[in-house]
């Protein structure tokens, strides 16, 4: 892994000057900023049991569908299209180092964008003069828990985006494939729950289906309940996806 720091620095520079990165940032901040404004606007209209931070993270999937494909669709697809991936693999750098460099660069920007949303409550507190210590805007447990969920789940989401990019030379196809995989992953648990699994052997699958419920993970974290089981789920599957991506890169380079 001697070449990993140099590769990571290069990938960070490339993402920093990429139009797709700034497009993702602008779309993300517009979507989440408008949603946070909507949450605050209607927070006093009805009696809410949850603080604004909990309601804010409920549409996280819309932003994930936007920023992950834009951040990752060029990572490997563009390298394959221009033939630079094969050239990189002829250097002392290994396929694993290349994949990890592209992954961590995209993940860094992913976390950075979500970190910017932490300023939304600060701005709201300043302009709404919410100085009371027990103000819902000052519920740091919900805000911290929601942000931790974004970081933990983002481990897998970004890995899937890089994996999708390794399967094709077309960046647009990579973005659409990433969107499709993320859509299935996030909503599959809810759809399976609606099936009401019954039967001698199907009923045994219910605990596994409940374990895969992304929105249940979000609900727990955004309410300040940090559970290690979702972290293990996302971390272990991230390692699996990155391992498969490395094998795909090696196979594509030798084919």
Average pLDDT, the chain: 82
User: In the predicted model, is pLDDT for residue 182 greater than 70?
Assistant: yes
* Domain housing 183: 4-254
User: In the predicted model, is pLDDT for residue 207 greater than 70?
Assistant: no
The confidence score (pLDDT) of residue 201 equals 46
Q: Is 255 exposed, middle or buried (0-12, 13-18, 19+ CB in 10 A)?
A: exposed
Q: How confident is the model at residue 15 (pLDDT cuts 50, 70, 90)?
A: confident
Residue 16: partners with Cβ closer than 8 Å, 6 or more residues away: none
Q: How confident is the model at residue 78 (pLDDT cuts 50, 70, 90)?
A: confident
Count Cβ atoms below 10 Å from residue 107 Cβ, excluding itself. 22
**Number of independent structural domains in the chain:** 1
The confidence score (pLDDT) of residue 255 equals 60
User: In the predicted model, is pLDDT for residue 176 greater than 70?
Assistant: yes
Collapsing DSSP states into helix, strand and coil, what is residue 62?
Answer: helix
Residue 126: partners with Cβ closer than 8 Å, 6 or more residues away: none
User: In the predicted model, is pLDDT for residue 195 greater than 60?
Assistant: no
**145, 176, 249 from 166: Cα distances, Å:** 32, 13, 6
The confidence score (pLDDT) of residue 187 equals 83
- The dihedral through the CA atoms of 98, 245, 73, 189 has a sign that is negative
Least confident of 35-44, 61-70, 156-165, 239-248: 35-44
**56, 83, 180, 217 from 189: Cα distances, Å:** 21, 39, 15, 11
The confidence score (pLDDT) of residue 200 equals 43
The confidence score (pLDDT) of residue 132 equals 65
Per-residue pLDDT tens over the stretch 16-75: 888 888 888 898 999 888 888 888 877 665 556 677 778 888 888 888 998 999 999 888
**Residue 105 and residue 21: Cα distance in Å, rounded?**
11
């Amino acid at each position: 892994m001697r070449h990993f720091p140099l590769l990571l620095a290069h990938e960070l520079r490339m993402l920093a000057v990429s139009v797709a990165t700034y497009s993702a940032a602008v779309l993300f901040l517009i979507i989440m900023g408008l949603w946070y404004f909507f949450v605050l606007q209607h927070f006093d209209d009805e009696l809410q049991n949850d603080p604004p931070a909990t309601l804010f993270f409920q549409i996280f999937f819309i932003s994930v569908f936007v920023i992950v494909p834009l951040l990752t669709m060029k990572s490997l697809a563009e390298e394959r299209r221009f033939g630079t991936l094969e050239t990189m693999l002829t250097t002392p750098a290994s396929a694993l180092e290349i994949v990890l460099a592209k992954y961590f660069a995209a993940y860094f920007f992913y976390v950075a964008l979500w970190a910017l949303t932490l300023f939304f409550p600060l701005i709201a507190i300043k302009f709404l003069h919410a100085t009371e210590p027990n103000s819902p805007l000052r519920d740091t447990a919900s805000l911290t828990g929601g942000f931790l969920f974004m970081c933990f789940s983002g481990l897998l989401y970004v890995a899937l985006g890089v994996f999708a990019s390794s399967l094709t030379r077309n960046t647009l196809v990579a973005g659409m494939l990433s969107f499709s995989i993320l859509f299935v992953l996030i909503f599959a648990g809810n759809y399976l729950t609606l099936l009401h699994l019954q039967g001698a052997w199907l009923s045994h699958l219910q605990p596994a289906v409940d374990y895969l419920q992304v929105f249940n993970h979000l609900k727990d974290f955004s309410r300040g309940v940090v559970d290690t089981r979702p972290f293990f789920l996302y971390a272990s599957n991230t390692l699996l996806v990155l391992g498969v991506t490395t094998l795909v890169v090696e196979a594509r380079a030798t084919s």
